[in-house]
Structure 1
């Protein structure tokens, strides 16, 4: 068997009730939810388990909620003795990956992503920024489009390189709209506006990044016990100082997810376990490499199924 990577989803995967059955059946998972409520000073668990969905989807709630759910499920895998050779996460998911690698304590991480959400919300007033997924266009061609629109005075840039033929753009509402029209003219198959509250991973997030440096200054970041492949560089990182720098850059830099998957494949990973709600990353990984084995663990049923499959393989 080759190497295993744990990968963690980002914002957009949250659903009311996520993690509930895991918490009901696993002491270790329940402890994570309890720690989140205690560190944040309100019942995040209630928001996760009871919603409503629009409250859970607020950036300031969605970020700690996803981190908490992913970490609780991770706890179950760890208790079952499953270990990873690499970790990575999509945008917000990078924090779950850092917790998994022992670089940041869960309590510090949940506080940090709550503040990250607040700063991202504050950076650009609602409605002034947006994001859209562009399908069926390559990176270079789309970058020419965004550069052109930006130079005309409407900032927009490539934000997520998700997999071949799926790239998210981010910027001012006007910039994204103009780039969407131009991308279609230049051959993009489809452009889908995303339901997000701001222009994440664009230069408009730089004011948030400056303040976020102070937040990171207040928590302990240690060297990672296993390599975490960074969104910003798509290269493994394990030094504490490097991790802090990359987390600040991550706010206004593109998420190089396709390249991140390529890096892990080149380093011998053949099994990816997506930990947390949804199967978004599993789908993207398959588009990068059809032969990669992907599992997604989001509830007790999928947890039991994955543990059985891995046991079978290691025989």
Structure 2
């Protein structure tokens, strides 16, 4: 049997009601929503379970909401006895992965991502920055496009390398618009503006990274008990000092998701289990490699299907 990776979704996967049915039927799951409310001194769980969606989608809410829901679902999933050889998460999901790997406590994780969301919102005021998904263009070609536009005075760069043919760019509004137009000229199939509140994973996030450094100094970061595949390098990290460095860099560096998935496959992973709301990452994994197996666990039913599939093999 091959190795197993747990992967955790990032911002954009949040939906009103996520984790609710599990929380109602399981006290352990419910306890995590209570812990988050207490730590943040906020009724986050009410927002997660009842909405409204537009408020849940705000970066400062979406980040702690997704981490809380994913970890609550993970705790429930642990009852199955299935364990991970590696963990990874997309952007915000990297924090969930670090909590899952025992490098950061749940409470510290929730606090850190709430602050991360606040600083990301503040870094570029008045929606002066944005992001766009570029479909069907090679990463080297797109990199040349962004570098040309940036050299001409409009900052833009590769932000999320999600899977072959799907790359998100990030920067100033003007930079993203110009790069989107040039990408189409260079052969991109589509350029889709994203509904985001800022130019995440770009150099424009450097002010947020400086502030966020103080937050990470206040919390306890330990060594990871399970290797975490870092967004910034697409390689394993377990040492506390490296984890802190990479979390700071992650704010203004590209998320190397395609490379991270490939790295896990190279390390022997053939089963990816996405834990949390949605199936975004499962879809991306399949686009990187069709032959691996993906599961998405978000409730009792999906958990049972994974257990049934994997228990068959163990017999």
| Whole-angstrom distance in 2 between the partners of 1:30 and 1:312 | 30
TM-score of the pair, normalised by structure 2:
0.99
| Mean Cα deviation higher: 52-61 or 20-29 | 20-29
Task: Give the CA deviation at 1:11.
Answer: 0.2
Residue in 2 that maps onto 1:85:
85
Q: SS of 2:126's equivalent? A: coil
| Whole-angstrom distance in 2 between the partners of 1:300 and 1:63 | 23
Q: SS of 2:127's equivalent? A: coil
Q: Unpaired segments of 5 or more residues in structure 2?
A: none
Q: SS of 1:310's equivalent? A: helix
Q: SS of 2:221's equivalent? A: coil
Residue-pair matches, total: 315
TM-score of the pair, normalised by structure 1:
0.99
| Whole-angstrom distance in 2 between the partners of 1:159 and 1:13 | 18
| 1:127-155 alpha-carbon deviations (Å, 9 max, x no partner) | 20000000000110000000000001000
| Whole-angstrom distance in 1 between the partners of 2:185 and 2:179 | 10
| Whole-angstrom distance in 1 between the partners of 2:262 and 2:203 | 26
Map 1:1-315 to 2 at 5 A: 1-315=1-315
| Whole-angstrom distance in 2 between the partners of 1:301 and 1:37 | 27
| 1:94-144 alpha-carbon deviations (Å, 9 max, x no partner) | 000001100000000000000000000000013200000000001100000
| Whole-angstrom distance in 2 between the partners of 1:299 and 1:196 | 27
| Whole-angstrom distance in 1 between the partners of 2:122 and 2:76 | 35
Q: SS of 1:223's equivalent? A: coil
| 1:13-59 alpha-carbon deviations (Å, 9 max, x no partner) | 00000000111122211111111011000110000000000000000
Task: Give the CA deviation at 1:79.
Answer: 2.1
User: 4+ runs of 1 displaced by more than 6 Å?
Assistant: none
Q: Unpaired segments of 5 or more residues in structure 1?
A: none
| Whole-angstrom distance in 2 between the partners of 1:83 and 1:25 | 23
| Whole-angstrom distance in 1 between the partners of 2:73 and 2:187 | 41
| 1:156-188 alpha-carbon deviations (Å, 9 max, x no partner) | 000000000000000001100000000001100
Q: SS of 2:125's equivalent? A: coil
